[in-house]
Amino acid sequence: MTATKSAGASPSSPSAPALTVADVLQSGPRPPAPGPLSTSLSFAWRALLKIKHVPEQLFDVTMFPIMFTLMFTYLFGGALAGSTNAYIQYLLPGILVQTIVMITMYTGLTINKDIEKGVFDRFRSLPIWRPSPLVGALFGDVVRYIIAITVSLVLGLIIGFRPQGGVLGVLAAAGLLLMFSFSISWIWTMFAMFLRTEQAVMGVSMFILFPLTFASNIFVDPVTMPGWLQAFVKVNPISHLVTATRGLMQGTTEIRDMAAVFGWSAFFVLVFGTVTMRLYNKKS
């Protein structure tokens, strides 16, 4: 009988107090705060999951390179270079640049959509590195760029493109193109911060990208252009990127072209990256 009473009284005994929520939460060591790289990669994975659930997003990085390469090669190759085989050696590096640079604007469209839905307000409240949602989105789009580069190169090799720079030259050109694309994407993220709709971001981005890509040395040698247009082409960052990419693939790269690309890339990150973060902090 005494044993029974003692057993029944044990739950309310002072020697066995009930655990509180605070006791449970503080029962172990506090986990370390996530670092900038880990949080950025988490948001990059989030961007890739969007592609998994909506694979139609890959249409622009697969069909557009194929369409542009075939159309310009077989429509203008004979007239501009005498044969399609000769023209594809000049054209393909330029098509790579045009394709990747054009699809960088979709980073801004995605971020603008997240802002409209209020998702970025939630991101700002998390105990993470502040730029990680933006950097992660840019990291995620690098996968799309790699797919576009692969599709363009495979098609080019099929129809006659032969890079004299070999595999190392092609890989170096791809790396340079990815670096530049990451840098110029900060311009579209800046637009995403203050433009109200996706349509506005796309309209402004296209307004900037079309002159930059078509008024360059992607399709033809600038020596055939009027003097005033040649002056613009020479300072156009896309022209520097095309020249450097073409040189790496053909084994004739000059240091000044590479330096110009690195300089423009640093400028885009420092200027537009800074402005984007200030707008992001105010908007959130």
Does position 33 have pLDDT exceeding 90, yes or no?
no
Please state, in angstroms and rounded to a whole number, the distance separating the CA atoms of residues 141 and 100: 10
Query: Cα(174)–Cα(245) distance, rounded to whole angstroms?
Result: 8
Helix axes 84-103, 166-194, angle to 10 degrees: 40
Residue 1 lies inside a defined structural domain of this protein: no
| pLDDT tens per residue, range 140-157 | 888 889 999 999 999 999
Number of domains comprising the chain: 1
User: In this model, does residue 15 exceed pLDDT 50?
Assistant: yes
Residue 4 in any domain: the answer is no
Is residue 265 situated within a structural domain?
yes
User: What share of the chain has pLDDT > 90, as a percent?
Assistant: 44
Residue 49 lies in a domain: no
Domain annotation covers residue 185:
yes
pLDDT at 137 over 80: yes
Residue 85 reports pLDDT greater than 70:
yes
With beta carbons less than 8 A apart as the criterion, state whether 183 and 266 touch: yes
Domain that holds residue 82: 37-44+55-283
- Is 6 among the domain residues? no
Please compute the mean of the pLDDT values over residues 267-284 and round it to a whole number. 87
Residue 211: inside a domain, yes or no?
yes
CA-to-CA distance for 230 and 242, rounded, in angstroms?
15
Q: Which residues contact 109 (CB under 8 A, 6 or more apart)?
A: 188, 192, 198, 201, 202
